[in-house]
């Protein structure tokens, strides 16, 4: 069955990657494409393939007849998209990062009425990485210091990345810690000896780096590094399409990519 998808932020880098991936997959169709009012992309065809819809800004109109909406924009826009999906009864796939706790709570509330997949990284590889990090943390325990290094392009507006934070949560949970209490987001000057129960984050921004993440477990005499490097936004788009098919016709609920890949019960 063909999945009719609404693409948000269709004029941006990730939006274009999503449009291209949908156009290349016979199981999906770009039902509508959205961008913010005033965007120079408004009124243009969403892609080069024949029959592509024009990019618009009317969310409610775009959702009529749609099966799923995919959102990789910014928190403010995502909240409007989620609210519109809730009103229309359309499933929602959210790859946006940088949400406040209050915004996350509102999304969870919407998920009591519509199916929602929300993940800071839609990559299949990163989803597997999360499992590997949790397993490594449980096996290595408190004798190994945990540090997370992430790199992204110069245009990324939030730091650390949502993926880095999710990796930190995976490690912290496996170690019986609360990331809110043990995270260290920057070091400068005379910091004193490292607290062994902390989880450190380092952020790199520059150029056109799509997304690199490394979780370092440093022990005495050895270290274990688990790394994922994305070389194309297509990997995120492909994961988002799998999530869009997952929400099609599904009962309300809040899911992540582990559910989409069938890993949640492992």
Instruction: Tell me the mean pLDDT in the region 153-166.
Output: 93
pLDDT in tens, 44-71: 999 988 889 999 999 999 999 999 999 9
Going 87 to 92 to 94 to 100, the CA torsion angle's sign is positive
Provide the pLDDT for residue 264: 63
pLDDT in tens, 16-48: 999 999 999 999 999 999 999 999 999 999 998
Q: pLDDT exceeding 70 applies to what percent of the chain? A: 99
Half-sphere exposure of residue 141: CA atoms within 13 angstroms, side-chain side: 2
Taking all residues of the chain, what is their mean pLDDT, rounded to a whole number?
95
Task: Please report, for residues 45, 98, 128, 174, 241, the alpha-carbon distance to residue 253 in angstroms, rounded to integers and kept in the order given.
Answer: 33, 21, 22, 25, 18
Enter the DSSP assignment of 54. Answer: B
The answer to whether residues 12 and 109 belong to one domain is yes
Say if 28 falls within a structural domain: yes
Beta carbons within 8 Å of 132's beta carbon, 6+ residues apart:
226
Instruction: Tell me the mean pLDDT in the region 195-222.
Output: 97
The answer to whether residues 225 and 242 belong to one domain is no
The answer to whether residues 69 and 192 belong to one domain is no
pLDDT in tens, 107-158: 999 999 999 999 988 999 999 999 999 999 999 999 999 999 999 999 998 9
Domains: count for the chain: 2
The answer to whether residues 103 and 10 belong to one domain is yes
Strand order in the sheet with 28-34: 55-56, 28-34, 3-7, 68-71, 91-94, 115-118, 253-255
The answer to whether residues 254 and 201 belong to one domain is no
The answer to whether residues 136 and 223 belong to one domain is yes
The answer to whether residues 148 and 168 belong to one domain is yes
The answer to whether residues 114 and 237 belong to one domain is yes
The answer to whether residues 66 and 102 belong to one domain is yes
The CATH number of the domain holding residue 12 is 3.40.50.720
Residues labelled catalytic: 152, 156
The CATH number of the domain holding residue 177 is 3.30.360.10
Task: Read off the pLDDT band of 98 (50, 70, 90).
Answer: confident
Does the pLDDT at position 266 exceed 60?
A: no
Enter the tokens of residue 33.
């494409």
Say if 266 falls within a structural domain: no
Does the pLDDT at position 232 exceed 90?
A: no
Which domain covers residue 181, as residue numbers? 124-230
- Global pTM? 0.78
Burial category of 234 from C-beta neighbours within 10 Å (exposed 0-12, middle 13-18, buried 19 and up): middle
Provide the pLDDT for residue 120: 83
């Amino acid at each position: 069955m063909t999945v009719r998808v609404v693409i948000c932020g269709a004029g941006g880098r990730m939006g274009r990657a999503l449009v291209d991936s949908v156009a290349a997959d016979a199981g999906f169709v770009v039902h509508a494409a959205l961008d913010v009012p005033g965007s120079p992309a408004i009124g243009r065809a969403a892609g080069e393939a024949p029959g592509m819809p024009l990019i618009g800004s009317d969310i409610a109109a775009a959702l009529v007849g749609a099966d799923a909406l995919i959102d990789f924009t910014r928190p403010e826009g995502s909240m409007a998209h989620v609210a519109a999906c809730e009103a229309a009864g359309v499933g929602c796939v959210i790859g946006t990062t940088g949400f406040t706790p209050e915004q996350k709570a509102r999304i969870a509330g919407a998920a009591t009425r519509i199916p929602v997949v929300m993940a800071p990284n839609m990559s299949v590889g990163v989803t597997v990485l999360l499992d590997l990090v949790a397993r490594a943390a449980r096996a290595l325990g408190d004798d190994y210091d945990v540090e997370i290094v992430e790199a992204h392009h110069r245009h990324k507006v939030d730091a650390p990345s949502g993926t880095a934070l999710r990796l930190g949560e995976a490690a912290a949970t496996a170690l019986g810690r609360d990331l809110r209490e043990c995270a260290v987001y920057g070091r400068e000057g005379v910091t004193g000896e490292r607290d062994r129960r902390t989880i450190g984050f380092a952020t790199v921004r520059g150029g056109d780096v799509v997304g690199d993440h490394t979780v370092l477990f440093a022990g005495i005499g050895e270290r274990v590094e688990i790394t994922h490097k994305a070389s194309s936004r297509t990997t995120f788009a492909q994961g988002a399409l799998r999530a869009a098919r997952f929400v099609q016709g599904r009962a309300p609920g809040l899911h992540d990519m582990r559910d989409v890949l069938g890993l949640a019960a492992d």
